[in-house]
Amino acid sequence: MIRSATIVAAFATVLTSLAASASDDPQALVQEVRDSVPQTTVRSRVTLTSSRGWERELEILSEKTDEQLASFIEVLGPQDVQGTRFLFFERTNEADEQHVYVPLIKRAMRIADDTRKQAFLGSDFYVSDLVAPDVDAYAYRFVGSEEILDRTCRLVEAVPKEPEEEIYGKAIFAVDPADRLILRTRFFDPDGDLLKIWRAEKLERIDGHWTILRQTVANVQDDTTSTLIVEDIDYGVDLPGGTFTRERLLR
């Protein structure tokens, strides 16, 4: 579903953008949330923890242009997963790509559709949560409003037009239309039962960008929770050439 529950969104976040006309069109509002990721480079260090008792340290590099959003994720620790790397391309006019390097077998592979339904590093995030799908692949409607983090949010329901190809039966986003921020998402399974709840818990404006510094996702069916905390983040950094290449993935 929309990248509100994805790891990349926690680091790139959403740039303030005022376009009141989208407030009356749920699909346009969701599209603006996706489009308002700042066109710049970002470097962040994050901690991913689980109620199961483990912790992961990650570095995320990303770059947004008119043509694509490229992201490189590397696991820094602990040792059993250290060196695992992910490379993602979300393209405007071409097909998206997702790749993973597994140090245990010293092999990089393109992520297949069935793999996207698996847990990301054992967390309550799925691999599919890391990338934003085609906005046109869903039907949208407003289903109410709610106050979240002292912001008045519109509730937008998104139902896949081809549900057999999706892991979620539907999602309901709580969107702050003023700053184009998704602050909570409820994900439902194909049977219509609540599966997961993603929440933004701490926000801060950094270098002019609203940044989600702490977020959680709770799997209500498994009674587990994962938390993502941004320890450090820099916008507009200089990234070396070849950052978003298969060669770096294999290094």
Contact indicator for 62, 89 with CB cutoff of 8 Å: no
Contact indicator for 162, 136 with CB cutoff of 8 Å: no
Contact indicator for 187, 178 with CB cutoff of 8 Å: no
Identify the bridge partners of residue 110 per DSSP, sorted by sequence position: 99
Percent of the chain with pLDDT over 90: 75
Topology given in CATH for the domain delimited by 3-250: outer membrane lipoprotein receptor (LolB), chain A (2.50.20)
Contact indicator for 88, 71 with CB cutoff of 8 Å: yes
At 139-170, the pLDDT tens digits run 999 999 999 999 999 999 999 999 988 889 99
Contact indicator for 129, 219 with CB cutoff of 8 Å: no
Residue 174 burial class via C-beta count within 10 angstroms: exposed 0-12, middle 13-18, buried 19 and up? buried
Contact indicator for 200, 210 with CB cutoff of 8 Å: no
At 75-126, the pLDDT tens digits run 999 999 999 999 999 988 888 889 999 999 999 999 887 677 789 999 999 9
Q: Round to whole Å and give the CA distance between 175 and 185.
A: 9
Q: Round to whole Å and give the CA distance between 33 and 146.
A: 18
Q: Round to whole Å and give the CA distance between 23 and 178.
A: 9
pLDDT at 54 over 90: yes
- Residue reference for tokens 């990303």: 62
| Long-range contacts from 157-164, C-beta under 8 angstroms, 24+ separation | 157/26, 158/1, 158/2, 158/30, 161/137, 162/137, 163/190
| pLDDT band, residue 22 (cuts 50/70/90) | low
Structural domain spans, the chain? 3-250
